[in-house]
Amino acid sequence: MTTIISPKQFSPVEDAENIRKACQGWGTDEKAIISILGHRNLFQRKLVRLAFQEIYHQDLLQQLKCELSGNLERAISLWTLDPADRDAVLANETLQKSDPDYRVIIEIACIRSPEDLLAVKRAYKFRYKHSLEEDLASSTTADIRKLLVGVTSAYRYDGDEFDETVAQSEASTLHQEIHGKAFNNEEVIRILGTRSQAQLNATFNIYKDIYGHSITKGFPGGDYFSTLRTVIRCIRDPKKYFAKVLRSAINMEETNEDALSRVIVTRAEKDLKDIKELYLKRNNISVDEAAAREWSGDYKTFILALLGVDQN
């Protein structure tokens, strides 16, 4: 989504040198850093980071952490990381909190491709010397632990094929297990933690055909069912889910910069254009306008750069 410099104009050495210059003197030139990193794709950012290391014998991320602060530092640091490493950091950060935001874990487990999820778990183990599942199990209890460890441990089939007979059978099973008198999460976790996205969406569609409403309608209250609802929404329609996260982040009484940065940074090189279109359709205002209205300064400039808005 971000506007990328042409490969012919790109020089990782020149970028590394200009970032270094922006960090020297009495004050950091944040706008110069944004003008560079905010307009480089994943491959280009890797080369800039390598060039910076080779020239100055220092990790670019450490330099950025020293020179920047607050929401801007966090957003640019996440953007500069490789995607798998970024997700590992996001997962670990949320698990360290006294009140973890399990949406972060669910997004990684249920929206990333099977190969991407595997890469995240490798990056997590390399960084923290624990498995993601181990730390997740230590930070959760009871049914939420079973559900989150279940979906995080999955290595799903990633194709479009599905079995309609299985979908019909499991739609009935889900209804019985979720809304029956004796709630049983074992089958719910088995289905959500092993079936492919295509298979689960077929099940959710058949569920709606049979029972006349979406599977999440009428869920009881409580943390477990709130978590279960997020799992289903992430599997069923990730773009719609992310559009809702953005709306909540922007419209809260105290805007949620962590959620805004997470969505925009992680989706900018994937499906942010589609998410923006959904947001506009549902809210009658573009994400660009909403973000520009709520934030100011260098953080706003960087977020708008990732959104593809060039500020003159």
Query: Hey, where are the domains in the chain?
Result: 12-68, 83-155, 164-236, 239-311
Q: Is the pLDDT of residue 231 over 90?
A: yes
Q: What is the pLDDT of residue 254?
A: 67
Q: What is the pLDDT of residue 193?
A: 94
Give 132's DSSP letter.
H
**For the domain with range 239-311, which CATH number is right: 1.10.220.10, 3.10.150.10, 3.40.50.300, 2.40.30.20?**
1.10.220.10
Q: Mean pLDDT throughout 149-171?
A: 96
CA-nearest of 244, 292, 300, 303 to 79 is: 303
Q: What is the pLDDT of residue 255?
A: 72
Confidence band of 252 (pLDDT split at 50, 70, 90): confident
Amino acid, res. 109: A
Q: Is the pLDDT of residue 96 over 90?
A: yes
CATH number of the domain located at residue range(s) 83-155 in this protein: 1.10.220.10
Q: Mean pLDDT throughout 273-284?
A: 96
Give 171's DSSP letter.
H
pTM of the complete model? 0.93
Average pLDDT, the chain: 93
Neighbouring residues of 289: CB distance < 8 A, sequence distance ≥ 6: none
Q: What is the pLDDT of residue 253?
A: 63
Q: Mean pLDDT throughout 140-163?
A: 94
Give the class (CATH, top level) of 12-68: mainly alpha
Topology alike, domains 12-68 and 164-236: yes
Q: What is the pLDDT of residue 1?
A: 65
Q: Mean pLDDT throughout 249-254?
A: 79
State whether residue 290 is helix, strand or coil.
Answer: helix
Nearest-angstrom CA–CA distance, 68 and 73: 5
Nearest-angstrom CA–CA distance, 190 and 304: 41
Q: Mean pLDDT throughout 37-54?
A: 96
Expressed in percent and rounded to 5, the helix, strand and coil fractions of the chain are 70, 0, 30
pLDDT tens per residue, range 168-205: 999 999 999 888 765 668 899 999 999 999 999 999 99
Residues making up the binding site for Ca(2+): 25, 27, 67, 250, 292, 294
Confidence band of 256 (pLDDT split at 50, 70, 90): confident
Which range has the worst mean pLDDT, 84-88, 185-189, 200-204, 269-273? Answer: 185-189
Q: What is the pLDDT of residue 309?
A: 81
Question: Which phi and psi angles does 156 have, rounded to 5°?
Answer: -80, 155
Q: Residue 270, by phi and psi: left (phi above 0), alpha (psi -120 to 50) or beta?
A: alpha
Element (H, E) at 232: helix 223-236
Nearest-angstrom CA–CA distance, 311 and 291: 13
Q: Is the pLDDT of residue 6 over 90?
A: no
Give the class (CATH, top level) of 164-236: mainly alpha
Residues making up the binding site: 25, 27, 67, 250, 292, 294
Confidence band of 162 (pLDDT split at 50, 70, 90): very high
Q: What is the pLDDT of residue 185?
A: 83
The owner of tokens 């309609």 is 164
Quick count: other Cβ atoms within 10 Å of Cβ 55?
Answer: 13
Share of the chain above pLDDT 90, in %: 82
